[in-house]
A = this chain, B = another copy of it.
Amino acid sequence: MRYELYYWPTIQGRGEYVRLALEEAGVDYVDVARRNKAGVRAMMQMMAANKGAPPFAPPFLKAGSLVIGQTANILLYLGARHGLAPKTEAGRLWVHQLQLTIADFVQEVHDTHHPIGTSLYYEDQRGPAKLRSAEFRKERAPKYLGYFERLIGGSGGPFVTGRKLTYADLSLFQIVEGMRYAFPKSMAKIERKTPGLIELHDRVAARPNINAYLESPRRIAFNEDGIFRRYKALDK
């Protein structure tokens, strides 16, 4: 079976957590909306359906007759199938819990440049974005990344849940990448206090499938349409 991933074609965004899992698993997939405009239209049509299980937003994954939406839910599905999550129920719930906490963090990153609303441009909410980013840099980012550092320190292994890599590790790699892009100054300070997280990031980056993906044209570069955006006014 060839998986079909549906996500915005020009950004990493939330789709990137799914792309990383598909790449690490080495499975056959097509990034539908990146192929052509018909792919984008197909994505919009699936969301507009009145019957079946239309997703509220991308990303979503077509797996045979199943259509699965919500990033963490897609990873729950892929993790169980491709060795990216523990086999026990307790282990699966724990990895999923971490992914949902990462999703909360990603939402807070998004809101640093869009505190007033997603239907407005960043340029129309610069003042509030500065305020929100200051709170994010001072309180939220250190709290979240410090939490993951603590977990890695206590996991008893090189990964966040222990000895084996899971999709949560792939996602932690991605948020380190994103923070370095969007908030280089504040992330440099945070990194001094999160050496375990940085080691984990490096370990994920060095995995053959991930390394090959990052070097390929399939990896979209960070840009100012995505979730992690580099605006000088928001970093210090």
Contacts and interface: CB of A to CB of B under 8 A. Distances in A.
Contact of A154 (B50, B144, B153): B50
Each complex incorporates copies of this chain amounting to 2
A139 B68 CA distance: 25
Interface string A108-125: 000100011111100001
Given A50-B153, A54-B151, A96 B76 contact: yes
Interface string A48-81: 0011111110000000001011101100110000
B131 A116 contact: yes
A151 B54 CA distance: 8
Interface string A77-106: 100000000000010011011001100100
Interface of A: 50-56, 66, 68-70, 72-73, 76-77, 90, 93-94, 96-97, 100-101, 104, 107, 111, 115-120, 125, 128, 131-132, 135-136, 139-140, 144, 147, 150-151, 153-154
Given A55-B97, A56-B147, A115-B115, 10 more contacts: A51-B154, A54-B150, A70-B97, A73-B96, A73-B97, A76-B93, A100-B100, A104-B107, A125-B131, A128-B128
